[in-house]
Amino acid sequence: MTTILCRYGELFLKGGNRHIFLRALANNVRAAVRDLPEAKVSVPHGRVVVQVADQARAEACSRLERVFGLVSISPVANVAADIDAICAAAVAEAQAAVARDPDLRRSFKIEPHRSNKHFPLQSHEIACRAGDAVSVATGIPVDVHNPALRVGIEISPQATNVFAERRPAPGGLPAGVSGRAILLLSGGIDSPVAGWLAAKRGLAQEALTFHSPPFTGEKAKDKVIALARELSRWQAVSTLWIAGFTETQKRLRAAGRPELAVVLYRRMMVRVADLLCDRAHCGAIVTGENLGQVASQTLTNMRNIEVAGRHLILRPLLTYDKVETTALARRIGTYDISALPFEDCCSLFVPAHPATAARLSDVERAEATLDVAKEAADIAEQAEPIVL
Amino acid sequence: MIVYLDNAASTPPLPEVLAAVTHAMTDLYANPSSAHGLGAAAARALEQARGEVAGLLRAQPSEIVFCGGGTEANALGLLGAAALARGRHMVVSAIEHPAVLRSAESLVSKGWELSKVAPAPNGRVTVESVMAALRPDTAVLAVMLANNEIGTLQSVAEIGRALRAAGRKLHFHVDAVQFAGLVPLDVQALGADSLAISGHKLHGPKGTGALWLRKGARVAPLWDGGRQENGLRSGTENLPGWVGLGRAAALCQQSPQAGEAVAALRDRLESQIMEAIPEARTTIPATTPRAPHIASLLLPGLPAEPLLHALEARGVYASAGAACSTRAHGPSHVLVAIGISERDAVLRFSLSRLTSESDVKVAALALREAVDEIASVVKLRRRNSKP
């Protein structure tokens, strides 16, 4: 049996609502490890503690590193409340840590926490005994001010844990505590990152993507599904809706001047997302839009697009540079999928010179030639869900 | 209904091949190198398969080295010959398959010089241009029999004769992956030293191939180990795969006229398409000597990939050979070499012995509809792009 200590950060700041946040975090942790052998999750004071079978340790750690709300995790050695057992575990953990990262050999420090006041030794004595053992066994010098390696010893009434590994977790708020949203997801680099950032601030999302066969192929669809799956590993997205867009896109293309086309498509996408918000009880739409990146992302056009819908539109990447977005995409594992060569929204439908500041009256006149509400309703009705 | 016209990419394995593979996996599981009777049975099946492959190429069984696919067979012929060569110059045609081209390019970092011979606009590399590219220190020459994208045949036998006439003693490797199967092939008549084929291009299993190595010609193995396949290809024999390849080769020999029948269907497909779509034309002149199964058609001003998806929606499966199908794919070196514009779609319909008359009709009709569907959108774009 392996025990993993999970620490949460920002939730400490919460006042009267703290129990709501904590319950959500514990539920998300449970969901993350539920299918692992012998998984058990408990919430003692100030921590979430996960136990899994030893063979599932690596998998459990890699999943917990993706749970929003946690700031760090430590796989620990669970030992008897006995100083000899503690010292032996401290040596073993320190040796394992320097084997993983030889750089840690520079110096170490013992960091004891003794909340079990019945334990016969006091914190300082525990530190001396364990420090002595580690120093003798490994030859690593002690540095209490600026240690490379920190060996934690936690002696609580429930358990005694020793650890030397701290793996960072993403922080933020537990997915779901901020509410629900629809993520407009494409096969590009930006929208998956936007979905990840929204989840980091506690939004649970369902993704919506538009597919225009034959102008986009099956492989382009598979790419979006792969992106949604990657986001689901972060508990950022639970369902992907695939909406057929070809016929509506053709009609919109023919409805107005070609340079209005992109604004017309995006307004329709927002309308469809609106209907899905109603159906899935979502309070907002999340997009990967970025100020000034392309013609539809000017202030004027973002406004033109926004007013087509009823819901709040969130744009987590609004102020990001492309390099920042790309770096984050690499970190969260979506970049390599986004970089696959299958185009998601066929460039044929994009005019050579899209308007950067479309006049709303022109846009509305173009839309008046078709029944936009019905088009949106039909698309939403026929969208096919994939549970991730 | 599925109309599968992507046989140059891969062919469906024949039922007899499946049966042979299943039999080999079920009953011939022993290692052909084992001393016992089960090992002997496996070894006999392997030698039978070797004989069948040799028969397809009119070669001696001892000249056949089984490999793990066409790419490996090409690498063994090319890199294996290069490893033993004294010269450090190689000549290849510019429209070789990446299996040959990238293998050849990999030698540049090892001190080799590489000359690529450009084809004429019909996709043919002339004998003269090949001979002109040779230098005194040229050690290896590689020219493919049939091009995989446009189907042109190269004058391999003529090049072989010219080499002999000039008294050249270099290693002449031939990639026959896209050629073998439909038209009888006689390796002795090519004047080549090695020739590569692939199983899944002739209704055999994927992951199988063979190198014909002329008796007396030498290549170094790409890796060492148990020294199976006469020391040239270490690793326990892929018995099910190679038995399947042997069966597929034997079946090819049973229908020596298949090439003519397929060529007739190919011609009909091309004429039906050009009748239905006046703008369409063959990528290379139809009179160019070419493999019987590949129809490469050019549709001016249209994007290839949406056309393929529109065909797929109508049950027709083909491939794009566009000079620039999408932003990310990059242009095809073959189409660039014969001067095809990246604004035009090039579609490759590739037939097999299993293609029927009705497949051809359905495909021509589907392409007509697909072109209409895509052209309606593309015209809108064109109007806008000239403000």
pLDDT in tens, B169-183: 999 999 999 999 999
pLDDT tens digit sequence for A302-334: 999 999 999 999 999 999 999 999 999 999 999
Q: Is residue A218 part of a domain?
A: yes
pLDDT over 90, % of chain B: 87
With respect to residue A326, please indicate whether it lies within any of the assigned structural domains. Answer: yes
In chain B, % helix, strand, coil (3-state, to 5) comes to 45, 15, 40
Tell me, yes or no, whether A279 lies in a domain. Answer: yes
In whole angstroms, what is the distance from residue A172 CA to residue B156 CA?
67
Domain end point (choices A168, A196, A227): A168
pLDDT tens-digit map of A195-222: 999 999 999 999 999 999 888 888 889 9
Does residue A173 sit within a domain? no
Q: Across B271-324, where does the E strand assignment appear?
A: 281-282, 294-299, 316-317, 319-320
pLDDT in tens, B52-99: 999 999 999 999 999 999 999 999 999 999 999 999 999 999 999 999
Query: Between chain A and chain B, how many beta carbons pairs sit less than 8 Å apart?
Result: 63
Confidence of residue B329 (pLDDT cuts 50, 70, 90): low
Together in a domain, A218 and A157: no
CA distance A1 to chain B (A): 41
- Determine whether the interchain pair B387/A213 forms a contact, defined as Cβ–Cβ distance below 8 Å: no
Q: Say which of A218, A259, A341 has its CB closest to residue B384.
A: A259
Is there a single domain that holds both residue A237 and residue A265?
yes
Q: Domain of A223?
A: 179-387
Same structural domain for residues A163 and A199?
A: no
What gap in Å lies between CA B125 and CA B116, rounded to an integer? 10
Cβ atoms of A181 and A141 within 8 Å: the answer is no
For testing the chain B interface, which of A343, A344, A349 should be mutated: the one with the most B CBs within 10 Å? A343
Residue A190 shares a structural domain with residue A318? yes
Tokens (6 digits) for A78? 């669970």
A35 and A161 together in one domain: yes
Whether A174 is in a domain gets the answer no
Q: What is the CA radius of gyration of chain A?
A: 26
Q: What is the pLDDT of residue B281?
A: 94
pLDDT of residue A158: 85
In a domain, A61, yes or no: yes
Are A10 and A154 in the same domain? yes
Average pLDDT over residues A128-135: 95
One domain for residues A142 and A188:
no
CB–CB contact B384 A216 (8 Å): no
Same domain, A273 and A131: no
B377/A353 touch (CB, cutoff 8 Å), yes or no = no
Contact A213 B328 (CB under 8 A): no
**Mean confidence (pLDDT) of chain A:** 92
Report the alpha-carbon distance of residue A181 to residue A147 in Å, rounded.
44
Residue/partner pairs of B195-199 with CB below 8 Å, 24 or more apart: B195/B57, B195/B77, B195/B145, B196/B67, B196/B70, B196/B73, B196/B74, B196/B76, B196/B77, B197/B53, B197/B56, B197/B57, B197/B70, B197/B73, B198/B69, B198/B70, B198/B73, B199/B69, B199/B241, B199/B244, B199/B245, B199/B248
Looking at the structure, do residues A204 and A347 belong to the same domain, yes or no?
A: yes
Same structural domain, A206 and A84: no
Quick one: pLDDT at residue A293? 83
- Residue A148 shares a structural domain with residue A195: no
Specify the number of domains making up chain A. Answer: 2
B67 is catalytic: no
Say whether pLDDT at A345 is over 60: no
Report the candidate in B58, B65, B284 with the shortest Cα–Cα distance to residue B186.
Answer: B58
Q: What is the pLDDT averaged over residues A41-69?
A: 92
- Given a cut of 90, whether residue B327 has pLDDT beyond it is no
Which one of A145, A168, A191 terminates a domain? Answer: A168
Closest CA to A347 of B329, B317, B333, B149: B329
What gap in Å lies between CA B92 and CA B142, rounded to an integer?
5
Q: In what order do the strands lie in the sheet with B171-175?
A: B64-67, B209-213, B194-198, B171-175, B138-144, B89-93, B113-117
Single pTM value for the model: 0.82
Q: What pLDDT, on a 0 to 100 scale, did the predictor assign at position B386?
A: 38
Distance, in Å, from the CA atom of B303 to the CA atom of B374, rounded to the nearest integer, reads: 8
Q: How many residues are present in chain B?
A: 387
What pLDDT shows up at residue A346?
57
What does the angle CA B255 – CA B260 – CA B261 come to, to the nearest 5 degrees? 75
Per-residue confidence at A347, pLDDT binned at 50, 70, 90? low
Same domain, A67 and A187: no
Task: Pick the residue from chain B with its C-alpha nearest to A338.
Answer: B328
Residues of chain B contacting A, Cβ within 8 Å: 303, 305-313, 326-329, 370, 373-374, 376-378, 380-381, 383-385, 387
CATH number of the domain enclosing A229: 3.40.50.620
Domains of chain B (ranges, CATH numbers): 15-254 (3.40.640.10), 257-385 (3.90.1150.10)
Question: What is the predicted pLDDT for the residue at A256?
Answer: 83
Last residue of a domain, one of A168, A202, A227: A168
Where residue A154 sits, what CATH number does that domain have? Answer: 3.30.2130.30
The band of B325, judged by pLDDT with boundaries at 50, 70 and 90, is: very low
Q: Taking residues B205-212, what's their average pLDDT?
A: 98
A13 within domain boundaries: yes
Phi-psi region of A160 (alpha: psi -120 to 50; beta: other; left: phi over 0): beta
